[in-house]
């Protein structure tokens, strides 16, 4: 099976930098994705890492270490609108490609 762990909640102030960690266990790891979901809304794709290293997309960056089964999402210059849930998700190829989500991290951005 697969399992992912990420913190349940993080609080930060506007303008700050926050890092959301994710560790995973899966037998058929193919890649790690990050999604953002606002309350009542659909998840939206933020980033994807298949290889070790850092991927940067604007204010958001994502990192992966396959040897450590670890990744993180880095959010810079936090804005109030970044308050949302952030999910790490593994793309797993065992039994056919599918995406399994972690429990999510609720980020609260304060003024």
Partner 1 sequence: GAVVSQHPSRVICKSGTSVKIECRSLDFQATTMFWYRQFPKKSLMLMATSNEGSKATYEQGVEKDKFLINHASLTLSTLTVTSAHPEDSSFYICSAQGTTTTNEKLFFGSGTQLSVL
Given the rule CB under 8 A, which residues bind partner 1? 30-31, 33, 35, 41-45, 48, 50, 85, 87, 91, 95-104, 106
Q: Which is nearer to partner 1, 2 or 82 (CB)?
A: 2
**Distance of closest approach, residue 2 Cβ to partner 1, in angstroms:** 10
**Contacts from 62-67 at CB under 8 Å and sequence distance 24+?**
62/32, 62/34, 64/32, 66/29
Q: Which is nearer to partner 1, 71 or 102 (CB)?
A: 102
N- to C-terminal Cα distance for the chain? 41
The SS3 of residue 80 is helix
**Distance of closest approach, residue 15 Cβ to partner 1, in angstroms:** 26
């Amino acid at each position: 099976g697969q399992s992912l762990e990420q913190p349940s909640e993080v609080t930060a102030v506007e303008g700050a930098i926050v890092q959301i960690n994710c560790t995973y266990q899966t037998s058929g790891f193919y890649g790690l994705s990050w999604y953002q979901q606002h309350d009542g809304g659909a998840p939206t794709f933020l980033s994807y890492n298949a290889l070790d290293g850092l991927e940067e997309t604007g204010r958001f960056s994502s990192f992966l270490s396959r040897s450590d089964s670890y990744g993180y999402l880095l959010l810079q210059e936090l804005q109030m609108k970044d308050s949302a849930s952030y999910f790490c998700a593994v793309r797993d190829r065992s039994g056919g490609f599918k995406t399994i989500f972690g429990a999510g991290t609720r980020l609260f951005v304060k003024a």
